[in-house]
């Protein structure tokens, strides 16, 4: 699903629910709410009425080959507490020895609901749901060809220059038509504002599969981001697995941009 199709989908969401249901009571200036480059996701949602985009490239070298992808996502704040994200890899490229394959990746639909705003003593909490639609060509090795689902609880708290996110998730992974495998996952990141614009981040992600035949995973990510202005962020990170079931080292970089308000304009 390319960017135009995602914008069309978000426009449908806007027409069906945004104008009818959205109550944008917050009046802050438009700013970006980056979800890159970490595994963990913060509890904060995209501002009500604001449409936000991100895009990035990922490079890795699986055993005996090379893999790179270019992905992007769109997010729309539907209410002060609810947003919708639609994401996919526009290009996936996989090569092993003398063979290679290229095509679009899978598509993810990802609503998130924030229960409360962070206070001086309480973190913000949110619930998120993600469903992966198998739009990638499994015959080319670009996906599994099966539908996956993730149910997550999120918590976030800022403490001076530090910010912490924690995610706990239940995964339902399609392994065949009408058959699924299950996993429990958690991740936690800590970011530190080095300066007003520069931030450093470390993120630990782990998955324990309930199927004994599948290895657990554990990955560590380190990276940083630069705030060009309140609407625009640039990021880069590297992550590496340190268990048998984890991926090889991966490099990524990207950008997040809050384009503006579609509705609920500040008064």
The per-residue pLDDT for range 119-173, each reduced to its tens digit, is 989 999 999 999 998 887 777 767 778 889 999 999 999 999 999 999 999 998 8
Q: How far apart are CA 173 and CA 150, in angstroms?
A: 8
Domain spans in the chain, listed from the N-terminal domain onward: 3-261
Can you say how many angstroms the Cα of residue 18 is from the centroid of all Cα atoms in its chain? 22
CB atoms within 10 A of CB 176: 10
Sequential pLDDT tens for the chain (267 residues):
455 555 556 555 555 555 545 567 877 899 999 999 999 999 999 999 899 999 999 988 766 667 778 888 999 998 899 999 999 877 767 666 667 777 788 889 999 999 999 998 999 999 999 999 888 777 776 777 888 999 999 999 999 999 999 999 999 888 777 777 888 999 999 999 999 999 999 999 998 865 555 567 889 999 999 999 999 999 999 998 877 656 678 899 999 999 998 887 655
Q: How far apart are CA 172 and CA 175, in angstroms?
A: 10
- According to CATH, the topology of domain 3-261 is Porin (2.40.160)
**179, 187 contact by CB (below 8 A):** no
What is the value of pTM for the model shown? 0.86
């Amino acid at each position: 699903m390319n960017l135009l199709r995602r914008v069309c989908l978000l426009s449908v969401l806007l027409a069906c629910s945004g104008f009818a249901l959205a109550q944008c009571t917050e009046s802050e200036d438009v700013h970006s709410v980056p979800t890159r480059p970490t595994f963990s996701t913060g509890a904060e949602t995209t501002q009500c009425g604001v449409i936000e985009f991100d895009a990035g490239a990922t490079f890795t070298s699986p055993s005996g080959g090379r893999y790179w992808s270019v992905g992007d996502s769109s997010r729309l704040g539907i209410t002060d507490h609810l947003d919708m994200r639609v994401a996919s890899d526009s290009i996936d490229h996989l090569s092993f020895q003398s063979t290679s394959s290229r095509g679009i990746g899978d598509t993810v639909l990802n609503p998130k609901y924030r229960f409360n705003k962070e206070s001086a003593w309480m973190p913000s909490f949110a619930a998120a749901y993600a469903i992966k639609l198998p739009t990638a060509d499994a015959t080319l090795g670009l996906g599994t060809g099966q539908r996956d689902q993730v149910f997550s609880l999120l918590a976030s708290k800022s403490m001076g220059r530090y910010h912490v996110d924690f995610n706990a998730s239940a995964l339902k992974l399609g392994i065949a038509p009408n058959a699924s495998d299950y996993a429990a996952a958690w991740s936690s990141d800590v970011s530190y504002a080095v300066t007003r614009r520069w931030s450093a981040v470390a993120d630990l992600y782990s998955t324990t599969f309930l199927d004994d035949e599948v290895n657990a995973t554990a990955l560590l990510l380190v990276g940083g981001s630069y705030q060009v202005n309140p609407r625009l962020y640039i990021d880069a990170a590297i992550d590496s697995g340190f268990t048998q079931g984890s991926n090889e080292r991966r490099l990524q970089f990207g950008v997040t941009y809050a384009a503006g308000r579609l509705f609920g304009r500040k008064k």
